[in-house]
Chains A and B, each alone.
Chain A
């Protein structure tokens, strides 16, 4: 603390109106003190408030000194350091995401040929619904940790369920670009997985996300990542999880049930274009994974590998007026175990590609194609949902949306899906996504 006030005092002397350079010895002494300061960043933090108060006093003085005749800036308006308002003046920041949909389908069935899907991977219900309502609370816990939780109220078959989507803490103060995250959260695999569905560019997730990740993989665990000190963006990370969420499942013991790893790179091409590419893996030791309403159970190793790429283009880099986004992901899953006690050692694949074009500040249109492929199944599984009957599921989607402000969006979407033999599903979705309260920034 003594160093602190000495520093503040010397700053005043050095930068103040009256020059006070006395002699070399004094400067050397000052320099020694300042050098000591350099390593004491903690004292910087707790000393800052008093420094700010001091600055406050001086600014009022200097503002009036610079322009004594200024009639426009009210004299005595405090220039304070206490205006550090981020999301809102509340602590924690509280946000509510309101989402509603109207959906109409031309087919009654929507099974994915060759795949057993979880609850969130189904196509959803027809008619009017509010689907997911998300409550988010987040704030810095202290100078070293950040905490956030998202609670979703979801409608499933006429009942309101409470889901803990996320509840995690994250380090803020690790050096060398390192970060640790613990709790329940959306794992950093693929592109869409780590993003909340409300920021998606389409009303539903593409087929590979529905088939391989049941919408998204969020599980209880720990993830470490580090941004490498290179000029080109490069980040690597790994996580370990309980192994409870699809595609893992049923892990009750003390063992780690699933592991993730990811590597990403990206950069700019001139002022107009930014890109990101990544590769990731989710390796799950599945104790018991129920799918298709509990009719199909998998046990064994389920290893999923994802490659993702995203590119944004905006004239002069000004995405506020016009922007083109290209995005795609490729999935490959290798499973070795047993489906309904029938030995299984096969792989499945899937991919999607999409583009979204913002042609005016509030208007966007988009198109997406997604496709899945499952290898032939063992004889014991013939005729089940895992038997694709020679059909590869595919879906084509177009959408248009209107964004009044960054807090509200209305969307109209049409999909044509051939998910199994003789299924030709026409789907219409009307959707709103609105945010009240604090709303955090979205990652790239």
Chain B
């Protein structure tokens, strides 16, 4: 009986603790691109924590203590969604996330909920590898997708922090205007890429290729999420033979051995595109990520 009373008293104390003043909006971004976008829209009013680096595979992250601490503080969680982070984000949310960042709250923003997904499947079977029936989750590499996400981000920020609503709407409008011009210029400069053929390591590039009209001939992974095998690479070698494949696309966190092997056999260059902010030395914000990517893709023509 006494134990109960002590426990209940303890819980009462916890729930009566004063709410800390919301000086800055704490944003928990699952990946660098969403962190950079949050900085872009939130400016000085947000404090962004980025859970992963460009050298880490967002599919496979451990729900480690430092992430629990960051989730504990989060006012807004911004991730790709479509099950990309399903191996670790649910643990963090359940264990450390407050009531205002749970699914179906303003503090929970999954980018893939707000853009058209490609590669959605009606039927899913695990014999197909690590697939996402909801659709391909690597949505940020089509720059058109960043605009609706930036808009929702601004809306969420002004719900969470209405004191600074002019700043949020102002920075969104600036971003919108600038971004539309940039996207148009990138697309124009990349006109020659349409119809070009590439090999990818993983389908992480689907949105980029879709945007630019580049055709994927093969993946080095035999099935999504499984590392390349010798027999599969032989098959890829056959598939690219005589088809004018211009590049092998590899993300910074992916193993380059298979790509190097194929490159050595065929002379097709390996392109290590930045994939996300921080993925190369010059890709240090959203704009330079695409500028750098487009610059590197020039070689594909």
A contact set with B: CB distance below 8 Å: 7, 11, 14-15, 19, 27, 30-31, 34-35, 37-38, 41, 44-45, 48, 52, 55, 58-59, 62-63, 66-67, 70-74, 77-81, 83-87, 89, 140, 143-144, 146, 170, 172-180, 222, 224, 226-227, 229-233, 235, 238, 240, 256, 259, 264-268, 271, 274-276, 312, 316-321, 360-362, 404-407, 436, 440-444
- Name the residue among A35, A70, A230, A436 with the largest chain B CB count within 10 angstroms: A70
Say which residue of A140, A175, A274, A436 sits within 8 Å of B99 (CB atoms): A175
In the A-B complex, the 6 residue pairs with the closest CB atoms = A266-B65, A34-B162, A233-B65, A173-B99, A316-B55, A77-B116
Question: Across the interface, which residues of A come within 8 angstroms of B86, CB to CB?
Answer: 86-87, 441
A259-B7 in contact given A14-B169, A70-B144 (Cβ < 8 Å): no
Other than A224-B10, A271-B56, A360-B227, give 16 A-B pairs with Cβ distance below 8 A. Answer: A15-B151, A19-B173, A35-B162, A41-B106, A45-B104, A59-B115, A63-B115, A71-B213, A77-B116, A78-B116, A83-B135, A84-B113, A179-B95, A318-B57, A362-B227, A442-B91
CB distance from B83 to the nearest CB of A (A): 7
Q: Mark B89-115, 1 if CB is under 8 A from A, else 0.
A: 111001110111011111000101111
CB distance from A203 to the nearest CB of B (A): 22
CB distance from B212 to the nearest CB of A (A): 8
Q: Are B94 and A14 in contact (CB under 8 A)?
A: no
CB distance from A33 to the nearest CB of B (A): 8
Q: Are B66 and A233 in contact (CB under 8 A)?
A: yes
A437 to B169 alpha-carbon distance, docked (Å):
43
- CB of B68 within 8 Å of the partner chain: yes
Q: Mark B115-138, 1 if CB is under 8 A from A, else 0.
A: 111100000001001100111000
Say which residue of B68, B88, B98, B160 sits within 8 Å of A441 (CB atoms): B88
A271-B180 in contact given A276-B65, A405-B130 (Cβ < 8 Å): no
Q: Mark B249-291, 1 if CB is under 8 A from A, else 0.
A: 0000101000000000000000000000000000000000000
Question: Across the interface, which residues of B come within 8 angstroms of A436, CB to CB?
Answer: 126
Q: Are B94 and A170 in contact (CB under 8 A)?
A: yes
Please report the total number of B residues contacting A with Cβ < 8 Å.
90
A268 to B52 alpha-carbon distance, docked (Å):
12
Q: Mark B155-172, 1 if CB is under 8 A from A, else 0.
A: 100111011011001001
Say which residue of B14, B68, B155 sits within 8 Å of A233 (CB atoms): B68
- Name the residue among A73, A230, A238, A441 with the largest chain B CB count within 10 angstroms: A441
Chain A to chain B contacts (Cβ below 8 Å), 6 pairs:
A11-B159, A31-B165, A37-B159, A41-B105, A59-B148, A271-B53
Q: Are B159 and A34 in contact (CB under 8 A)?
A: yes
CB distance from A172 to the nearest CB of B (A): 6
Question: Across the interface, which residues of B come within 8 angstroms of A30, CB to CB?
Answer: 165
- CB of B63 within 8 Å of the partner chain: yes
A232 to B66 alpha-carbon distance, docked (Å):
7
Chain B residue with Cβ nearest A222: B7
Q: Are A80 and B113 in contact (CB under 8 A)?
A: yes
A15 to B172 alpha-carbon distance, docked (Å):
7
Q: Are A66 and B147 in contact (CB under 8 A)?
A: yes
A440-B113 in contact given A70-B144, A320-B57 (Cβ < 8 Å): no
Question: Across the interface, which residues of B come within 8 angstroms of A176, CB to CB?
Answer: 14-15, 17, 98
Say which residue of B56, B62, B110, B118 sits within 8 Å of A444 (CB atoms): B62
CB distance from B164 to the nearest CB of A (A): 10
A268-B105 in contact given A59-B148, A317-B56 (Cβ < 8 Å): no
A72 to B142 alpha-carbon distance, docked (Å):
11
Q: Are A318 and B68 in contact (CB under 8 A)?
A: no
Q: Are B69 and A231 in contact (CB under 8 A)?
A: yes
- CB of B72 within 8 Å of the partner chain: yes
Question: Across the interface, which residues of A come within 8 angstroms of B10, CB to CB?
Answer: 224
- CB of B23 within 8 Å of the partner chain: no
A406-B62 in contact given A63-B144, A231-B69 (Cβ < 8 Å): no
B contact set with A: CB distance below 8 Å: 3, 7, 10-11, 14-15, 17, 19-20, 52-53, 55-57, 59-66, 68-69, 72-73, 81-83, 86-91, 94-96, 98-100, 102-106, 110, 112-118, 126, 129-130, 133-135, 142, 144, 147-148, 151-152, 154-155, 158-160, 162-163, 165-166, 169, 172-173, 180, 183-184, 187, 210-211, 213, 225-227, 253, 255
A170 to B82 alpha-carbon distance, docked (Å):
25
Q: Are A226 and B96 in contact (CB under 8 A)?
A: no
Question: Across the interface, which residues of B come within 8 angstroms of A71, CB to CB?
Answer: 213
Q: Are B106 and A67 in contact (CB under 8 A)?
A: no
A55 to B90 alpha-carbon distance, docked (Å):
25
CB distance from B140 to the nearest CB of A (A): 15
Q: Are A240 and B226 in contact (CB under 8 A)?
A: no
Q: Are B11 and A224 in contact (CB under 8 A)?
A: yes
Q: Are A81 and B65 in contact (CB under 8 A)?
A: no
CB distance from B30 to the nearest CB of A (A): 13
A72-B113 in contact given A11-B158, A86-B83, A232-B69 (Cβ < 8 Å): no
Chain B residue with Cβ nearest A47: B106
A77 to B142 alpha-carbon distance, docked (Å):
15
Q: Are A320 and B115 in contact (CB under 8 A)?
A: no
Q: Are B227 and A361 in contact (CB under 8 A)?
A: yes
A143-B104 in contact given A240-B3, A259-B3 (Cβ < 8 Å): yes
A406 to B57 alpha-carbon distance, docked (Å):
14
- Name the residue among B10, B82, B225 with the largest chain A CB count within 10 angstroms: B225
